Amino acid sequence: MSCPPQIPLFPPLSQNPQITPLVNLNSIIQTLAEDLTTLTSFKTRYFRSQTGRRASEWLHNRIESLISGGAYDASVEYFNHTWIQPSVIARLQGISNTTVIISSHIDSLNLNLPSLLPAPGANDDASGVSALLSILQSLLSSPPLPLKNTLEFHFYSAEEAGLWGSNDIFSTYNTLHKQIHSVLQLDMIGTPSAKIGIVTDFLPESFAGYISHIATKYTSLTPVLTTCGYACSDHASAIRYGYAGGLITSGTIPELSKADYSHTKHDTMDKLSTPHIAEFVKFGIAWMVALGTAELEVERRGYICDNGYPDGWMGTILRFSTARAADPAGFGLWILAVVILLAIARPWEELPFLMRFCRKVKRRFRRGYTSLTGD
């Protein structure tokens, strides 16, 4: 069943949260560096790998230690899939079950031989994961806020496979009639830039406007509008099931693709700027505080729907080809491997034999045929 896309209502712009006491910039930058180091130290966070599973387990334990002893009604859980790497969801329960979600993806991918080759995935998307951890840590280490709404922090598995983890989660949320206000995905936010890119595909204007407002008010980043052209990250799974989903990234998509090392072994921490990610942490704190403490109305209440991905079959192709030739050297390796295999197997040497064999069969057949008809 299809459902009209939800247009979320945002708090009045005059209503601004006090976030300065929550921001300890030096400690945020240090925490970001530590978390990024750990996340990129897994050989790969590929969703079908043991190290991918261990990355999720590390994340779960890290959040568990953050929430233990905190003043919030907080919890963390795995969301299991049919593959080995679970997604992880942290929750700060508010008075109402209306839920505001901020998200990122835990998996990484090396496009050439994902099961074997390293994929540090620093920008894609350890940057988003570490930012979410810092937002959570800042909230939990400060005096608790009076949360009217519930806040969730999502860390999806198998984004790189084609948004599989988030699809499982929003499909389930839809079946459970969960009231979701909005979902905001942070993906590839580490490239040094003075901008915050607001991806406008399938994004309601009010949503883009509120991102822009929070960014201008609480960060040094300049908001810029940009487009992907297809459902390019997990927020699209939310949209698929009728929820409002947005994506923010570092600068515009064309700027990002100029220095895009994603899906290769070159997506490493040294190419990122932790002070830049810290601006996204400031943004995230303000976003969660503003939406967590405001009176939010969610119009869409419980009906089951599936719009499919909003971009049709061409988007499916694009989603898989984003795992595009970001690594021409790797692509060259594939060609080299095929050449070596051909050189060893030399299938063309079998050609004369095959032709001889075919001639023999043909002759036999003809002889049999003439002997049958000759009588």
Give the residues lining the site for Zn ion (CB under 5 A). Answer: 124-125, 187
The number of beta carbons lying within 10 Å of the beta carbon of residue 256 is 20
Q: Which is nearer to Zn ion, 235 or 300 (CB)?
A: 235
Structure tokens at 133: 């951890």
Q: Are 82 and 46 in contact (CB under 8 A)?
A: no
> Cβ 232 to Zn ion, closest distance in Å?
8
d(CA 156, CA 209): 26
Which contiguous run of DSSP H or E holds residue 214?
helix 205-218
Q: Which is nearer to Zn ion, 323 or 333 (CB)?
A: 323
The angle subtended at Cα 131 by Cα 327 and Cα 81, nearest 5°, is 70
Q: Are 204 and 75 in contact (CB under 8 A)?
A: no
Structure tokens at 156: 């999806």
> Cβ 206 to Zn ion, closest distance in Å?
25
d(CA 247, CA 224): 12
Q: Which is nearer to Zn ion, 125 or 201 (CB)?
A: 125
Q: Which is nearer to Zn ion, 149 or 249 (CB)?
A: 249
Q: Which is nearer to Zn ion, 125 or 327 (CB)?
A: 125
> Cβ 233 to Zn ion, closest distance in Å?
6
Q: Which is nearer to Zn ion, 25 or 259 (CB)?
A: 259
Q: What is the DSSP code string of 292-328?
A: HHS-------S-------TTHHHHHHHHHHTS-SS-H
> Cβ 218 to Zn ion, closest distance in Å?
24
Structure tokens at 103: 């998200």
> Cβ 199 to Zn ion, closest distance in Å?
12
d(CA 49, CA 325): 22
Q: Which is nearer to Zn ion, 92 or 260 (CB)?
A: 260
d(CA 244, CA 231): 13
d(CA 183, CA 234): 9
The number of beta carbons lying within 10 Å of the beta carbon of residue 182 is 26
Structure tokens at 37: 């180091």
